[in-house]
């Protein structure tokens, strides 16, 4: 399980950082053409800044495996809320089924590798 958990940290950390960098440089890639307004670009860049932090926290967990519990659980809480936002958009008819489904995969991975036992 340790090797799988470290793989999850590495993959999600790399994906978080890569998506954040791309979105910081080109925020329009994360926006539909009808929403590419200056305020929307600004908000997408702010979210990208958050994902730089998230990616770095995944790498911190990878490097500090024995002390990862509080950070891992905080990442789980964040990713659950993030996926919940996408599910809400789906339920309200503002997004297709693919977006919440894709955003639920990291929740499942982080939950499956969570150190719920005693520290």
Question: Residue 60 sits in which domain range?
Answer: 2-112
User: Do 40 and 31 form a contact (C-beta atoms < 8 A)?
Assistant: yes
Structurally, how many domains does the chain consist of?
1
119 within some domain:
no
CB atoms within 10 A of CB 119: 8
Indicate whether 39 belongs to any domain: yes
How do the pLDDT tens digits run along the chain, 119 residues long?
899 999 999 999 999 999 999 999 999 998 888 888 899 999 999 999 999 999 999 999 999 999 999 999 999 999 999 999 999 999 999 888 998 999 999 999 999 999 987 65
Confidence (pTM): 0.90
Helices 69-91, 98-112: inter-axial angle, 10-degree rounding: 160
Residues 6+ apart with CB under 8 A from 19: 48, 51
Q: Quick check: is 106 in a domain? A: yes
Within-domain flag for 118? no
């Amino acid at each position: 399980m340790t090797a799988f958990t470290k793989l999850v940290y590495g993959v999600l950390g790399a994906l978080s950082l890569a998506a954040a960098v791309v979105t910081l440089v080109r925020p329009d890639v994360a926006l539909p053409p009808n929403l590419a307004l200056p305020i929307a670009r600004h908000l997408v860049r702010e979210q990208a800044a958050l994902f730089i932090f998230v990616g770095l926290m995944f790498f911190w967990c990878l490097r500090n495996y024995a002390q990862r519990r509080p950070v891992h659980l905080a990442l789980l809480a964040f990713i659950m809320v993030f996926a919940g936002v996408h599910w809400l958009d789906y339920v309200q008819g503002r997004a297709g089924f693919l977006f919440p489904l894709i955003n639920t995969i990291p929740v499942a991975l982080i939950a499956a590798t969570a150190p719920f036992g005693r520290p």
